[in-house]
Amino acid sequence: MQIPEQDKRAVVVKNAGSHFLLSRLPDWSPFPAVLRGKVRLGQTTATNPVAVGDVVRYEGDEMQADAQHPVLIREILPRRNCLSRRSTNLSRQAHVLAANIDRAIVVTTLYFPEIKLPFLDRMLVSCACYGVPALIVLNKVDMYREEDPESVRHFCDIYEKAGYPVLQTAVPTGEGIGALREACRGKCSLLCGESGVGKSSLVHAIDPSLQPKIGRISDVHLQGKHTTSLYEMYPLAGLGFLIDSPGLRGFGLSDVPPDDVFRYFPEMLRVADDCRFMPCTHTHEPGCAVKAALEAGDISPERYASYLGMLEEDRKFR
């Protein structure tokens, strides 16, 4: 059936630089597209004006579209939300990871590769800033929980006390996979994290019909290697949609003023109204309720150190 021009809307399900795949969700029948002219999203400074998850208007016949004759994206519709990070080499520009998502599934490991808490905390702050609920997945627990159970307990205590759900997973044993599959049900979720934490293996475990490229850890530095190089959405059989993302090795905050950083730490926000002075930077002021909560053990030293690091990072990029 011919679709009227005014109804030609679809969702970006794959971003390959200047080429895209679209699909009229919830139906899954991707077709190729390119940008028409210089389509821009308002006054954005993002390096990528179109992201996976964007709803776009297009022109052309999707039934006849192929690589040589793609449809043309002519408009990007307003986003419900998005998740972005500051570009690695362009401190004042941002890169949008995904748009119009219901949840970010932030995957990490304690080892293989070794965890970097400041990196994880930057991701969580960005999720809160953009209004994207976050689920932390602690993956590969089969590789280290028996040898270091205290570190696993300590990690879960830090983030659960802060207010984040933490799910422990292990692909070889199937631990946590059912719960993760259920968390994806009826949602469009972004799977994100550092290189090597096992995102592609989790995608395959959630839906064995999907075959994303799976890599291995570097033996030299126990660091992750990039396996996924593109942002791509997958349909999960009977569940929802999952956006797989390239492994990240840096995550600069975007659109978070320094005076507001504390607002995206749930455990700090709960007590900040009790500070003696307002505004309070929660670094040196007398009568600071955040510092008092830190001393009482209600805020972890690790999370507070991440907060201070974000304030210092902002000073460097002003």
Per-domain residue ranges for the chain?
5-76, 82-244, 258-316
Give domain 258-316's CATH superfamily: Probable gtpase engc; domain 3 (1.10.40.50)
The answer to whether 39 and 54 are in contact (CB under 8 A) is: no
pLDDT category of residue 239 using cuts at 50, 70 and 90: confident
pLDDT category of residue 45 using cuts at 50, 70 and 90: low
pLDDT category of residue 201 using cuts at 50, 70 and 90: very high
pLDDT exceeds 80 at position 223: no
**How much of the chain exceeds pLDDT 70, in percent?**
86
Q: How far apart are CA 20 and CA 32, in angstroms?
A: 6
Of the two residues 316 and 221, the one the predictor is more confident about is 316
pLDDT exceeds 50 at position 224: no
- CA-based nearest residue to 52, from 299, 213, 206, 241: 241
For the domain made up of 5-76, give the CATH fold: OB fold (Dihydrolipoamide Acetyltransferase, E2P) (2.40.50)
Of the two residues 221 and 89, the one the predictor is more confident about is 89
According to the model, what pLDDT value does residue 252 have? 74
Beta bridge partners of residue 104, listed in sequence order = 134, 190
158: CB partners within 8 A, 6+ apart: 300, 302, 303
pLDDT exceeds 80 at position 250: no
CB-side neighbour CA atoms (13 Å) of 153: 5
The answer to whether 83 and 251 are in contact (CB under 8 A) is: no
211: CB partners within 8 A, 6+ apart: 204
Q: b/e per residue, 257-293, with b = 16+ CB within 10 A?
A: eeeebbebbebbebbbeebeeeebbbeebeebbbbeb
Q: Using one digit for the tens of pLDDT, what is the confidence trace for 136-193? A: 999 999 999 999 999 999 999 999 999 999 999 999 999 999 999 999 999 999 999 9
DSSP 79: P
Q: Which SS3 state, helix, strand or coil, does residue 192 take?
A: strand
pLDDT exceeds 50 at position 215: no
- CA-based nearest residue to 299, from 312, 309, 290: 290
Of the two residues 157 and 256, the one the predictor is more confident about is 157
According to the model, what pLDDT value does residue 75 have? 92
Of the two residues 70 and 67, the one the predictor is more confident about is 70
Least confident of 68-77, 173-182, 207-216, 267-276: 207-216
pLDDT exceeds 90 at position 38: no
The answer to whether 177 and 205 are in contact (CB under 8 A) is: yes
Structural tokens at position 76: 């990007």
In this prediction, residues 195-209 reach a mean pLDDT of: 92
Q: Do the domains 258-316 and 5-76 match in fold?
A: no
Q: Quick one: CA dihedral 124, 127, 131, 137, positive or negative?
A: negative
According to the model, what pLDDT value does residue 167 have? 98
pLDDT category of residue 6 using cuts at 50, 70 and 90: low
Q: How far apart are CA 22 and CA 2, in angstroms?
A: 17
pLDDT category of residue 219 using cuts at 50, 70 and 90: very low
Q: Is the N-terminal amide bond of 78 cis, ω within 30° of 0? A: no
181: CB partners within 8 A, 6+ apart: 206, 207, 236, 239
- Mean pLDDT, the chain, integer: 87
Range 82-244 has CATH code 3.40.50.300: yes
The dihedrals phi and psi of 21, each to the nearest 5 degrees, come to -115, 135
Q: Using one digit for the tens of pLDDT, what is the confidence trace for 86-142? A: 765 545 678 899 999 999 999 999 998 999 999 999 999 999 999 999 999 999 999
Structural tokens at position 221: 């530095």
Of the two residues 213 and 191, the one the predictor is more confident about is 191
pLDDT exceeds 90 at position 317: no
With tokens 């631990």, the residue in question is: 175
